[in-house]
Structure 1
């Protein structure tokens, strides 16, 4: 009945809240007109066949943190006509269900035991917008994800494959993807065929992988002309990658093996606003290496081996972190160069260096708005 509420649950209009109740099965008598059914943090180990078919209005089903396995959900979602959002993260699934409803727009399968993903898994739900499968075992052993496996998802906007065991990025990803998360895998190269055509990708996270400069070749990012945020933190890069898209606004190269920055390293990145180079081995920065970044606001060079502040830092800079280096000197044309009388810098972090305050050239700070901008201690 529409006005009934199971004793294990609380009902608020068409929202049925049965989370954290210690139940081992879906409570009997949930109203058929329910739109949101919340069953997270229970001990549910199966969904009875045909149980959900009467819920023609259900749009959002949360089964997070239960005891579901592949066999106990087989066929459970067939005939559920309006389901848009399905959360089954933190369960015990080993494969992606192949009977997902055609109406689905968001699917979360994070923190399961996924190893297998059939080619047929996504043909049933072409309207999927968000797919998250982080913290699983996809790509484990010889079972890499099949190329073109995601291609039926022609409307997909967000794909999260963080913390799996992928050795490579599947080829033929949908061009519609705007956010792609691949942190914490075993990826050694980002191949040119990941996108077959001009991609709409805006955010790409490849941090904590095994990427080398060879793995990011000329063709790797050729088709991602709208990319604004690229995270390459915690890889094995020895140089600033070449052939990066000029559209980039944020570039994170922290925690790599960079030892020097060449003068032309960032010349093509005119739109860059945030640049992270912390926790590398950088001891040398060519004079003017950053001057061609006209709108760079934040620059992080902490935890490196610099002996002096880089020369000709860009005029738009608001924040620069240079702490935990071996800096002894501040050149006159580091912060103040050209015809500028006043710098836009708000904070300069110079703590934990080898600076002798008695030997500092005060002219090096002539354009800064008071010494409160510079932090020596």
Structure 2
């Protein structure tokens, strides 16, 4: 009798638990489905050796797709599609329709076709930096009306793409071959706030009159171009304007008259030898001015009247003298922001001849950089 009871206990311990239909969970079904799919794939390997299978497993349990499609080789999660550094020569297909960001940088894409982003109505950001783009179809962005950020830097585009989304807030087309900005390029793009166009062979004559009419741009950079003067027809809403590494030789009275809201002005690494008196009076809100690496022989006039100016870079010029009232106001009780940075090094100025009161409106002595001139 004891032996019989022992055999029953051993049989009970080795038996598998009974699962009623109520214990069949989603996880169990998914695992079973994947096992069945693996078996089917082994049978189909002889018939389909392509990198992009045309047959997709269909789950017998669920009528919807549990695993959204993702372009081969890319990574997809949280409505973001990463396809960078894959050596792609074209935009991949099967991009999920609810995608919000696509990263295609560091590939070999030469052309964007009309239907490459068709149906991506939720697309917010598109990154195409460092490809070989020469052409973007005029109807490429017809359905991407929510696109806010477009990055096209380090390509071979000869013009800014036509029919850009009206909702675009940031466009970066640095280091291309753009020579001309046509009148209607940015028409109706009232939300465009950041425009980066540096390292393009753009001349003053290449900016058509009215090219920025009605556009609200706050930050613009056209550095490393072929500008010989400050463009006079840029958006009047500019808060930052960077024109470094151009061929500008003179700042005239009318050059800055349009940009009364300007807070940062970059004119470093040009050929500026003279700044006409009263030029800076047109930008009364400016806080930072870059004039380093130019050909100035004196401190520009009008700095002492700029109440908000805090940073002025004048190093690597030909300035031989600094006057006691070149930086600080002479009007009694005039309120002015204290300077946090004044750079005068690498100028032929005798720093020991500069009067201490010259920097009376500076935050601290560490804010002034004056050094010996080296030929």
TM-score above 0.5: yes
Give the Å deviation of 1:145.
2.0
Give the whole-Å Cα distance in 2 for the aligned partners of 1:348 and 1:115: 46
Give the whole-Å Cα distance in 2 for the aligned partners of 1:85 and 1:52: 24
**Does structure 2 conserve the Cα–Cα contact (< 8 Å) formed by 1:60 and 1:85?**
no
Tell me, which stretches of 5 or more residues in structure 2 are unaligned?
1-25, 38-49
- SS at 1:125's partner residue? coil
1:134 matched to 2:133? The reply is no
Give the whole-Å Cα distance in 1 for the aligned partners of 2:130 and 2:71: 18
Give the Å deviation of 1:268.
2.1
Cα RMSD of the aligned pairs, angstroms, is 3.2
Q: Determine the structure 2 residue equivalent to 1:271.
A: 261
Q: Determine the structure 2 residue equivalent to 1:258.
A: 248
- SS at 1:169's partner residue? coil
Equivalent residues in 2 for 1:161-240, closer than 5 Å: 161-224=152-215, 226-240=216-230
Higher helix share: 2
Q: 2:110 aligns with which of 108, 111, 115?
A: 115
**Does structure 1 conserve the Cα–Cα contact (< 8 Å) formed by 2:98 and 2:122?**
yes
Give the whole-Å Cα distance in 1 for the aligned partners of 2:309 and 2:358: 16
Question: Number of residue pairs matched?
Answer: 324
Give the whole-Å Cα distance in 1 for the aligned partners of 2:260 and 2:86: 45
**Does structure 1 conserve the Cα–Cα contact (< 8 Å) formed by 2:103 and 2:126?**
yes
Give the whole-Å Cα distance in 2 for the aligned partners of 1:53 and 1:206: 49
Cα 1:87–1:327 change in 2 (3 A) is same
Q: Determine the structure 1 residue equivalent to 2:101.
A: 106
TM-score (norm 1): 0.76
Give the Å deviation of 1:247.
1.4
Cα 1:359–1:127 change in 2 (3 A) is same
Cα 1:98–1:244 change in 2 (3 A) is same
- SS at 2:312's partner residue? strand
Q: Determine the structure 1 residue equivalent to 2:16.
A: none
Tell me, which stretches of 5 or more residues in structure 1 are unaligned?
7-27, 33-44, 69-76
Q: 2:367 aligns with which of 367, 370, 373?
A: 373
Cα 1:29–1:292 change in 2 (3 A) is farther
Q: Determine the structure 1 residue equivalent to 2:151.
A: 160
Which deviates more, 97-106 or 293-302? 97-106
**Does structure 1 conserve the Cα–Cα contact (< 8 Å) formed by 2:227 and 2:246?**
yes
- SS at 2:116's partner residue? helix
Cα 1:357–1:265 change in 2 (3 A) is same
- SS at 1:348's partner residue? strand
Q: Determine the structure 1 residue equivalent to 2:140.
A: 149
Q: Determine the structure 2 residue equivalent to 1:354.
A: 348
**Does structure 1 conserve the Cα–Cα contact (< 8 Å) formed by 2:168 and 2:189?**
no
